[in-house]
Amino acid sequence: MRSLQRSIRPGEWLMADRGRKIAVLLRLEIGPRRQKLIRSVTWAPESKDRVLIGYFVDLEMAAHITWHEWVRATTPRNDE
């Protein structure tokens, strides 16, 4: 959660790793029941270039999984 900062847009957070933007988390209401979810996508300057990470029921879970996916994607693997 420390890596999140509120965006200038309401209901939006940016996730960063040492100043590098890595993801955008956005609160949405989806479906006929207006279910409140957090959508997490990779960061890119243009929305069309972002990749969906997932939909989550709360910000804490969205941040945790988003960070985990970032670490997994950027950690060198030792393929033996």
Q: Which of 5, 6, 17 is nearest to 67 (CA)?
A: 17
pLDDT, position 6 = 84
pLDDT, position 2 = 65
Residue 29 located in a structural domain: yes
For residue 31, what pLDDT band results from cuts at 50, 70 and 90? confident
Residue 50 located in a structural domain: yes
> Is residue 62 over pLDDT 60?
yes
Residue 80 located in a structural domain: no
Q: 53, exposed or middle or buried, with CB in 10 Å at 0-12, 13-18, 19+? A: buried
Residue 18 located in a structural domain: yes
Tell me how many domains the chain contains.
1
Range of the domain at 61: 4-74
pTM of the model: 0.84
Average pLDDT of the chain is: 91
Residue 55 located in a structural domain: yes
